[in-house]
Structure formats: structure tokens, C-alpha cells
Amino acid sequence: MLEWLKEPELNFPDQITAGFEHGVCVGQIQAKAGLTQSTVSEYLSILQRAGFIESTRVGQWTYYKRNESAFEALSKLIESNL
Amino acid sequence: MLEWLKEPELNFPDQITAGFEHGVCVGQIQAKAGLTQSTVSEYLSILQRAGFIESTRVGQWTYYKRNESAFEALSKLIESNL
DNA sequence: TTTACATATCGGGAAAAGTCGATATATTTG
DNA sequence: CAAATATATCGACTTTTCCCGATATGTAAA
């Protein structure tokens, strides 16, 4: 999922909202993942709590997009601390 | 454990072998970890299979030391691919 | 070559993570 | 407000991971 969210336009061409500035909505990710709605929703909320993605609620949809700084931070942490 | 192995001299002052060029032996790590011998042994072998540490058998002892290049590779992987 | 010591492997029980269906909540539409 | 849609949460079950004791293997010392 995290890799998919790197290029939303490519990986979620079916999303019909105006642009991807807020990322991709849960339903799209669910369809592509082939897991149930509840599983995907929980998974996304875990990723969010961990700081790897951010969510934006727009109407009835929740959009998720990557938080690149978290990945950079993790990369640096592994490089230096670990 | 991986952090401990960054500075063997500091973290394993009890090791009485001549130097740390091959790393630290299982018993030392076990004592510090507070886990059983079998658990630590298995854990170290997993880390080795994953490439994060290397082992050297010297007599009845097995020494483990970090493989820094694996950490760099992981760091770069997270930075670029993920 | 028997005994002692260090480490590795094996089998199993406990804990955690993954996944689901059912249901709750929130939002939009009629 | 009622129905429809999207997402979130809950409880239960399954799978995986963690960790242990027992035992095997490999090496050194007596």
C-alpha cells in the first residue's frame, strides 16, 4: 500500500475525484488490496498512528497520502542509530 | 542487540577474549539480554540469515558482529524504494 | 575417550498480529 | 428524517511470532 501511494495517479486510475492532493480513499485501496473493508481501514489507521500516512476527511470519504518525512526519518534512524 | 554490537567494547566489557575483531560471543549477549540461551541463539541466527550480522566460529565459541553494509542498504532501500 | 562447556536445533505453549463478518458512526442525497 | 454510501470499530478466529525447556552437536580439557 505504501508503495502504491507513492504514485496515486498510476496505481489508482479509477479514482474519480478532482486530483490526488489529499491522496487516495479507502475504497480504492481496498479494491486493489483484495482484503476486506474492515481490514484495510484498520491497517490504514495503524499506518497513520505510526506517522507514515496522513488522512483527510472530505465528505464521506477519507483520503490517505504518504508522509514522506516519516520515511526519511526512518531511513536516517537506521543509518545512524541502529 | 544490534545496538549493543555497535560498540562491543563498551557493552560487553566482561568478554575476556583477545579483542573484538570477530565480535561478541553468544553467551555474553545472552547474559545481557536476559533471555534463555536457545532464544538468543535462534535470534542471532535469524539476524545472520537476514544479513545483519556475521558469525565466526572460534573454538567452542561463536562470535557475532554487525554487517554495517546491510544497514546502509536497508536505509537506502527505505529512502528510495519504499 | 570421558567429561565439561558453548552453541544449535527441536517441539510446544503463550503472546501478538492478521483477517474477517457484523455492526456502529458519519456524511450525503432524496 | 429515511435511505444510501463510505469509513470506523468490535469481537472472534486463525496464523504467525516469541520464548522456553529439553536435547543434540561441536569443541576443548582432563
Range of the domain at A62: 1-81
Q: Which amino acid is it at B78?
A: I
> In chain A, which residues have their Cβ closer than 8 Å to the Cβ of B78?
71, 74-75, 78
Provide the pLDDT for residue B46: 97
pLDDT confidence of A18, banded at 50, 70, 90? Answer: low
Burial A38-59 (b: 16+ CB within 10 A, else e): eebbebbeebeeeebbebeeee
Counting every residue written for chain B, the total comes to: 82
All cell numbers assigned to A23:
491522496
* A48 contact to strand D (CB, 7 A limit): no
pLDDT at A80: 87
Burial of B57 (0-12, 13-18, 19+ CB in 10 A): exposed
B65 or A18, higher pLDDT = B65
Residue A60 contacts strand C, CB under 7 A: yes
Nearest to A3 by CA among A37, A38, A36, A29: A29
How many beta-carbon pairs under 8 angstroms link A with B?
A: 24
Return d(Cα A55, Cα A75) in angstroms, integer.
22
Predicted confidence at residue A82, as pLDDT, reads 74
**A2 and chain B in contact, CB less than 8 A:** yes
Q: What is the pLDDT of residue B75?
A: 95
Per-residue pLDDT band for B22 (boundaries 50, 70, 90) equals: very high
Instruction: Report the range of poorest mean pLDDT among A22-36, B9-23, B49-63.
Output: B9-23
**Scanning the structure block, which residue is given the C-alpha cell 561463536?**
B62
Average predicted confidence (pLDDT) for chain A: 94
Q: The domain that contains A56 carries what CATH number?
A: 1.10.10.10
Give CA–CA dist A71/A29, Å, rounded.
Answer: 20
- Domains in chain A, number: 1
- Give the nucleotide with minimal C1' distance to the Cα of B64: C7
Q: Given CB atoms, is A36 within the 8 Å cutoff of chain B?
A: no
**Percent of chain A beyond pLDDT 90?**
88
B68 inside 8 A of chain A by CB: no
Could you report the per-residue pLDDT of B30-55, keeping only the tens digit for each? 999 999 999 999 999 999 999 999 99
Alpha-carbon B32 to chain mean position:
12
Bridge partners (DSSP) listed for residue B63: B25, B56
- Confidence (pLDDT) at A70: 96
Q: What's at A24, amino acid-wise? A: V
Query: What is the C-alpha separation between A2 and A44, in angstroms, rounded?
Result: 10
pTM of the prediction? 0.88
Give the CA distances from residue B43 to residues A21, B34, B69, in Å, rounded to whole numbers and listed in that order.
Answer: 43, 13, 20
Residue A81 reports pLDDT greater than 80: no
